[in-house]
Amino acid sequence: MTTAFEIRPVRSSEADHLLHLSDAYMDSLYPAESNHLVSPDKLRREALVFLGGFCGADCLACVALMAGHKPHYAEVKRLFVSDDARGRGYARLLMTELERQAKRLQISCLQLETGIHQPASHALYLSLGYHQIPPFGDYQLDPLSVFFEKQLI
């Protein structure tokens, strides 16, 4: 019997193991100066929305929404799916729910930064209606970074 995939807010440290796996993965792809990771503590304190994708008690995927650099904007952070759960559409489900919650919060535009060595992420964002933009907020031009945006409202 397969356990259903459930998306719900992350409580306490439920996604910390995923965030540590994400950190290690990003560290293997990019130098420290090109990694723009938000710590688990900061996510718990400041995220507007922090969602986990669960099968039973196991958190297999996560994504967060942080306040943006201007009103009605927010930044997508820390989208990550564990290795053994990839290829099942969980990232798309999480992003769809994150966008739904952003609209509920009257956020009109989502932005994000990702790296050049993550073509599957680029394909996901493009398929969800995001388009590539120049660096935003405090980000600087970085040859290892790619920036995306989607208007919600």
By residue range, what is the domain housing residue 66?
Answer: 5-151
Question: Over the stretch 22-48, which tens digit does the pLDDT of each residue have?
Answer: 999 999 999 999 999 999 999 989 999
Tell me the pLDDT band of 2, cut-offs 50, 70 and 90.
Answer: low
The residue type at 124: L
Q: How many domains does the chain have?
A: 1
> What is the residue-wise DSSP string for 26-44?
HHHHS-GGG--PPPHHHHH
Q: Are 40 and 13 in contact (CB under 8 A)?
A: yes
Question: Over the stretch 104-150, which tens digit does the pLDDT of each residue have?
Answer: 999 999 999 999 999 999 999 999 999 999 999 999 999 999 999 99
Question: Over the stretch 57-108, which tens digit does the pLDDT of each residue have?
Answer: 999 999 999 999 999 999 999 999 999 999 999 999 999 999 999 999 999 9
Question: Over the stretch 41-60, which tens digit does the pLDDT of each residue have?
Answer: 999 899 999 999 999 999 99
Hunting for tokens 């120049």 — which residue is that? Answer: 134
For residues 12 and 106, which has the higher predicted lDDT (pLDDT)? 106
Give the CATH number of the domain where residue 93 resides.
Answer: 3.40.630.30
Mean pLDDT in the chain?
A: 95
Tell me the pLDDT band of 3, cut-offs 50, 70 and 90.
Answer: confident
What pLDDT, on a 0 to 100 scale, did the predictor assign at position 153? 85
Of 140, 144, 82, 150, the closest CA to residue 112 belongs to 150
> What is the residue-wise DSSP string for the chain?
-PPPEEEEE--TTTTHHHHHHHHHHHHHHS-GGG--PPPHHHHHHH-SEEEEEEETTEEEEEEEEEE-SSTTEEEEEEEEE-GGGTTSSHHHHHHHHHHHHHHHTT--EEEEEEETT-HHHHHHHHHTT-EEE---TT----TTEEEEEEE--
